[in-house]
Amino acid sequence: MTSKVYFIELADRTGIETCVQAIRSLFKASNATSVIDPKDFLAVKVHVGEKGNVTHIPADLVAAIVGMAKDAGAIPFLTDTSTLYKGERSNAVNHILHAYSNGFTIDKTGAPFIPADGLAGNTETEVVINGELHESVHVAREILVTDSIMVISHCTGHMCAGLGSSIKNLGMGLSSRMGKMRQHSVIQPEVIKRRCTACEKCMRWCPENAIEQRDGSSFILAEKCIGCGECIAVCRFEAIKYDFASESVFLQKSMAEHALGCLKDKKGKVFYFNVLLNMTKDCDCMAGVQKKCIPDIGILASDDPVAIDKAALDLTENEQGINLARLSYPHLDPMVQLKHAEKMGLGSLEYEIEHVL
């Protein structure tokens, strides 16, 4: 089956007002309201960016989607889940306060920010999926309660999955703490002693205090490590490695299976936007300012998460000669998550682009 992906092109560094107009045009042209019935609770999945992150999707774009969803009769709320790592988003209270401080206020967006996995990230429902890796997955409870979902994803590279886009936003972003733990469960980072300069940067970033200095280099305490990969991303000496070949494959497939769990009983009720603006090597979970790694391309919309992520990869490849994931983490193959998602019935790798003017 060939899925349709709607695309509105935007020149590099287009101003926010034009971007807002563009997402409105895209919303209309792609018939995004087809997933909304009057009085639906509509979960608008966002990522408000970690502290100091300035490249995340701006609240104005989210506000445009919320406004149009309301016009269609929905009762929208913004949502996300608690992170595994300690930061501004690791519990509902801090996450809500942080969302507001990053501009995602009710005044600005027209909708409240309600974390889908409760106060501490463990309000969850177990969903049977009979997947290749998991018979069941643990999903943030409110995602199963809500009637419809719009997933707004910022396309970025990702240190463990290669690509951070719709499938990751669903599978990792809407699973409970236990679901996230299971996705990360095989990642076992190790320090390469001869490369380690003992700069201690990884220690400062590790959310679990799982790194200490031993004999002049960093040492990872396996019993404390949650496999979040932050240390791999911050080490500038490539002194921390994990078995990318097998561990990324597990994480990506597990992510796709968790995405499937999030979509339970939502046939025809979920829509996706991929924002190819301010794209960076790492995802918006990284605190601090990141540099753009590709000129802006535009925004995509589709009812198929596999097709829209494949289109994002292809468009970035057309732009740069190498796709966003390969450009960011060349040793990772983002097609693992896409192919597995297709195999699990989430969507199709075959798509056609419809240009929106």
Residues that bind ligand SF4 (CB under 6 A): 189, 191, 196-202, 206-208, 210-211, 218, 220, 225-231, 235, 237, 239-240
As a whole number of angstroms, the distance between CA 243 and CA 357 comes to: 44
Q: Which is nearer to ligand SF4, 15 or 216 (CB)?
A: 216
The letter for the amino acid at 166 is: S
Residue 255 Cβ vs ligand SF4, minimum distance, rounded to whole Å:
16
Residue 68 Cβ vs ligand SF4, minimum distance, rounded to whole Å:
39
Q: Which is nearer to ligand SF4, 28 or 241 (CB)?
A: 241
Residue 48 Cβ vs ligand SF4, minimum distance, rounded to whole Å:
21
Q: Which is nearer to ligand SF4, 240 or 341 (CB)?
A: 240
* CA neighbor of 331 nearest in space, from 217, 268, 242: 242
Residue 131 Cβ vs ligand SF4, minimum distance, rounded to whole Å:
24
Q: Residue 34 in contact with residue 268, Cβ under 8 Å?
A: yes
Q: Which is nearer to ligand SF4, 63 or 283 (CB)?
A: 283
- For 73, how many CA atoms within 13 A lie in the half-sphere containing its CB? 9
Q: Which is nearer to ligand SF4, 43 or 226 (CB)?
A: 226
Residue 327 Cβ vs ligand SF4, minimum distance, rounded to whole Å:
22
Residue 141 Cβ vs ligand SF4, minimum distance, rounded to whole Å:
26
Residue 103 Cβ vs ligand SF4, minimum distance, rounded to whole Å:
28
As a whole number of angstroms, the distance between CA 26 and CA 32 comes to: 8
Query: What sign has the CA pseudo-torsion 237, 254, 266, 89?
Result: negative
Say how far residue 317 (Cα) sits from the centre of its chain. Answer: 20
* 87-90 contact pairs (CB < 8 A, 24+): 87/50, 87/51, 87/207, 87/285, 87/287, 88/50, 88/51, 88/287, 89/48, 89/50, 89/285, 90/121, 90/207
Q: Which is nearer to ligand SF4, 28 or 201 (CB)?
A: 201
Q: Which is nearer to ligand SF4, 202 or 276 (CB)?
A: 202
Q: Give the contacts of 83 (CB within 8 A, at least 6 positions apart).
A: 89, 90, 121, 180, 285
Q: Which is nearer to ligand SF4, 52 or 345 (CB)?
A: 52
Residue 180 Cβ vs ligand SF4, minimum distance, rounded to whole Å:
12
Distance between start and end Cα atoms, the chain: 25
* CA neighbor of 308 nearest in space, from 332, 334, 273, 337: 273
What residue spans of 72-184 are helical by DSSP H? 92-101, 106-109, 141-145, 166-171, 177-184
As a whole number of angstroms, the distance between CA 153 and CA 260 comes to: 17
- CA triple 263-267-268, angle to 5 deg: 120
> Burial of 304 by CB count in 10 Å (0-12 exposed, 13-18 middle, 19+ buried)?
buried
As a whole number of angstroms, the distance between CA 173 and CA 16 comes to: 25
Residue 102 Cβ vs ligand SF4, minimum distance, rounded to whole Å:
23
Q: Which is nearer to ligand SF4, 66 or 235 (CB)?
A: 235
